[in-house]
Chain A
């Protein structure tokens, strides 16, 4: 079945550094991938839609210059948190859907827990 892989699963870094998170669709191609963020005891909130070969679409309130998204191939999207600060600490999750196959569900990565010190 469709599998989405996310890497790394856990990151701890100092304030001011940049962190890159990868999201791969392992056995299917996806022109669109989604990035969510989840704070403790809250539900998932959509951050942005990653589009292969074009610019990402960001949700209101999400800074595009801080959360850089690159979707250079049909199986890989990356999210880079630039100049990360403690308030960026969160659980970041990506998802993708196998396209061209009717009402296929979206599949999610296992998430990346980001802790900024």
Chain B
């Protein structure tokens, strides 16, 4: 079984400020973890993913996330927010190696990021 909890349904930052979106997961097997971004009236776009190896993963648009097994977390960060980062962000988990790997992605409830000038 797997689940994802995103802390904070809305996060508001000023342009140039640090962005931190929190994600905690639960998985019975080693997980694969993903962050997707959804702009208004558009589909989901992959930001970054963790499968194995380096726990700090870098994605597009300057975002990065760190897999912390001991904390069951995969928080998304960006050092300096840009107005174009305003969107909704979804954290997701799927079974990794050793799991029933039929691509069952489980999503968190999403976090809306607002960036103020």
B is a partner of A: no
